[in-house]
Structure 1
């Protein structure tokens, strides 16, 4: 889709020149020109960027070999304290909703075991959830990260609510992804914006899913609801406001990919590929439509200026505060970022490339949680495609997750790191459970993905121990262990018609073919996986 961004009347020539130099992206239809450290285009985390090192294999050992664990060290985001202040101020203006209330009003329906089939010749999963057709086929929202209440709580309950899953999607139509840093190229006119709200840079959304019994009918159902993630800032009118999530270091990173998420206690950790982690808080889910009737434009609170405000969740073309009205790209719920962790080492991975340097700051391509160890730990790894001079297949390491709640001092990894034993790289997700590392390898749109199972040898190498990869969905993404049901969950990212390989199965036994690019959430039984050769 051509890259486009909304034309802003307030964008002065000086600001345009500044953005062209820095590669920063202005917020969609902001009311006032942001100033100073409240510039919403500067979002945390923001790891130091260095020139890619000369083509070399220095630091590289071998697929499965040990890597330098110190490269994973993270520092607190420089704006953490200011972000806390901004979120508190936003909290004084906008009403909140708890997770259970949000789920009680979930407005979309999952269909279990529909005919959509991203598996093809791969074995069927133990269970499969199909999203509504617009979410399954949307060119705008691309699903990536996966977590759930089994990560969040040891008893797998959020209060009295169970069977909750979350997945993240990034804005694949983000109009700033290709034309930055020139803010004048490819901008949407007001008329184009009104006709196609995808002109907006919406960033990332989180989807809450729950399997439950309908209290009115007594029948089982699976419902879900989308929540927009936000970044707070103070504009030149001294109003607190928010924007969608953006990456401000184009061309190093084009948008926040949200390739992995972990819900742990009150906090939601979202992977920011080139930078580290963004942190959100389940206690701060803002509700812009408390009465549940979008047409009423509910009253909100007043900021420090004392001016009363309202909210409009019908207009999908605006975000943040405009003329004393709050907008959120049409979403009822917004969850603002509360903190960040950034890599301490400089980010020297080559821009616009899937190749990875073997040392220095890694990519936070995906994250997951391992509750089978003491203490609980966050697993982090890289998506890499080896290239000449860059042989890395991707590194993986872990952090004691409780240490990430401090936010005042550096957090080091648990002292181990490995290169993944994938000849061609392509890891989209990895997690560890009971000593086994599970890794989803993407094979693109033309064949099923592969799920690998690794262990550690006595000399600390990652090895398969002779176990073969298990075929799984095309476009297999992040991994999540549901301990109560004994399932390893993932989701598929491709949509019908997105690639020629998505149109039909080329198997001679099925000359007509079926569309293998279909988005589903799915779970394999761990006991079944571990029993495979």
Structure 2
């Protein structure tokens, strides 16, 4: 009897959460979704300590030491690229998120370069995240390690899944699944020693043999404001057609999920590259429930949403075209393992990547998206 009473109370509490998808419909109250902004207090000091080691995006690209190669890919993308052999088939690192210089700046280039960024999480050994800086003109790339400043002269690795990324000006937004966003400062890339270990290393600094590190500048936390309400920050995409610009974040849930699947938009300030906030609290401008299991990525334009669903390592992925209040319309579209997605307004094209070893592609599409 006591267990039944406890279950009943928990059920009431669950249904009382206004952020859940329940009988009152798929549209949610956007103001119920909030994040708390927090700046990293050590980045300014670290930037002074490593001032002589600062590097630009162009310098990272010019130092690129690997090549993407074109090759046959299932489906009909307008461009298809494979990683070099070591990255194409490794099981140690798994690619997840994609963004481009078309997200970073409306002109479509950054420092005059046409760039893709791709996030990878480390699945074997230590937990780290790296970002591939890809020059789309030379077809060369280099990996850069994400780090979090822990002192004015030290940093540590970032142990998250990095399921989606969005580049906005000098800020790289990376989803942190259970927590919200971490944001990294593209104005403070540092060159470090090629050595083992992450952080201060004797008289220098290293990053597990990576030549460059990209430090965290701030975070946006879900749990600081709503610790009893779960939200999976699985992927993210920039929408430049909203006014103001927004970050769209979506949830991945597996087949057996008995929990909500939601899309939420947060407003951006293009002058500061932060999420718009009042007193450090960011409030969503739009929130909706959507019934798409295994949703790995998406983007929105003019109130239409393009959502990717993965179907394992042997079946191709689906693309859903959906508008609020309408029925989802899926079509088989992607190779197996499709992940994060990104739209480039300047070039009128959009991107995804695939995650499985030996089926690992960077894909561009020019299908008409109104």
TM-score, normalising length: structure 1: 0.62
Partner of 1:233: 150
Instruction: Write the deviation string for residues 411-447 of structure 1: whole angstroms up to 9, x where unpaired.
Output: 1001x2111122xx11101210233201111111131
* Shift in CA distance, 150/428, structure 1 to aligned 2, threshold 3 Å: same
Instruction: Write the deviation string for residues 101-156 of structure 1: whole angstroms up to 9, x where unpaired.
Output: 211221111112x14x4x3xxx3212101110111111111000111111110111
Question: 2:214 aligned to 335, 352, 368, which one?
Answer: 335
Contact 1:63 1:421 in 2 (8 A): no
Partner of 1:477: 339
Question: 2:250 aligned to 373, 377, 381, which one?
Answer: 381
The residue matched to 2:131 in structure 1 has which SS?
A: strand
Q: Is 1:395 the equivalent of 2:262? A: yes
The residue matched to 1:479 in structure 2 has which SS?
A: strand
Partner of 2:30: 69
Partner of 1:525: 366
Find runs of 4+ consecutive structure 1 residues off by over 6 angstroms.
Answer: none
Question: 1:134 aligned to 81, 86, 94, which one?
Answer: 86
Q: Is 1:434 the equivalent of 2:302? A: yes
Q: Is 1:143 the equivalent of 2:23? A: no
Q: Is 1:463 the equivalent of 2:327? A: yes
Question: 2:67 aligned to 93, 109, 134, which one?
Answer: 109
The residue matched to 2:338 in structure 1 has which SS?
A: coil
Contact 1:261 1:366 in 2 (8 A): yes
Shift of 1:408: 5.1
Partner of 1:346: 226
* Shift in CA distance, 373/87, structure 1 to aligned 2, threshold 3 Å: same
Shift of 1:493: 0.3
Contact 2:46 2:154 in 1 (8 A): no
Contact 1:418 1:462 in 2 (8 A): no
Question: 1:418 aligned to 279, 282, 288, which one?
Answer: 288
Contact 1:83 1:339 in 2 (8 A): no
* Shift in CA distance, 167/438, structure 1 to aligned 2, threshold 3 Å: same
Alignment of 1:17-166 (within 5 A): 54=10, 58=15, 59-61=20-22, 65-77=26-38, 80=39, 82-92=41-51, 95-112=53-70, 114-115=71-72, 117=73, 119=74, 123-161=75-113, 163-166=114-117
Shift of 1:71: 4.1
- Between the aligned partners of 1:450 and 1:170, the Cα distance in structure 2 is 24
Q: Is 1:494 the equivalent of 2:335? A: no
Partner of 1:448: 316
Instruction: Write the deviation string for residues 258-294 of structure 1: whole angstroms up to 9, x where unpaired.
Output: 1111111111111000001111111100012xxxxxx
Partner of 1:320: 199
CA RMSD of aligned residues (A): 2.4
- Between the aligned partners of 2:288 and 2:85, the Cα distance in structure 1 is 40
- Between the aligned partners of 1:406 and 1:434, the Cα distance in structure 2 is 24
- Between the aligned partners of 1:152 and 1:441, the Cα distance in structure 2 is 25
Partner of 1:223: 140
- Between the aligned partners of 2:211 and 2:24, the Cα distance in structure 1 is 46
Task: Tell which structure's C-alpha radius of gyration is larger.
Answer: 1
The residue matched to 1:401 in structure 2 has which SS?
A: strand
- Between the aligned partners of 2:60 and 2:25, the Cα distance in structure 1 is 43
Shift of 1:387: 4.1
- Between the aligned partners of 1:341 and 1:462, the Cα distance in structure 2 is 31
Shift of 1:168: 0.4
Q: Is 1:205 the equivalent of 2:130? A: yes
Contact 1:486 1:525 in 2 (8 A): yes
Contact 1:71 1:361 in 2 (8 A): no
Shift of 1:62: 6.8
Shift of 1:55: 5.5
Shift of 1:81: 5.1
* Shift in CA distance, 139/71, structure 1 to aligned 2, threshold 3 Å: farther
Shift of 1:211: 1.7
Contact 1:74 1:410 in 2 (8 A): yes
Count of paired positions: 352
Partner of 1:262: 166
Instruction: Write the deviation string for residues 459-516 of structure 1: whole angstroms up to 9, x where unpaired.
Output: xx3533xx442321211000011223322200000113xxxxxxxxxxxxxxxxxxxx
The residue matched to 2:102 in structure 1 has which SS?
A: helix
The residue matched to 2:215 in structure 1 has which SS?
A: strand
Instruction: Write the deviation string for residues 174-198 of structure 1: whole angstroms up to 9, x where unpaired.
Output: x3xxxxxxxxxxxxxxxxxxxxxxx
Contact 2:190 2:213 in 1 (8 A): yes
Alignment of 1:399-410 (within 5 A): 399-402=266-269, 403-404=274-275, 409-410=280-281
Shift of 1:322: 2.4
- Between the aligned partners of 2:91 and 2:82, the Cα distance in structure 1 is 17
- Between the aligned partners of 2:32 and 2:49, the Cα distance in structure 1 is 35
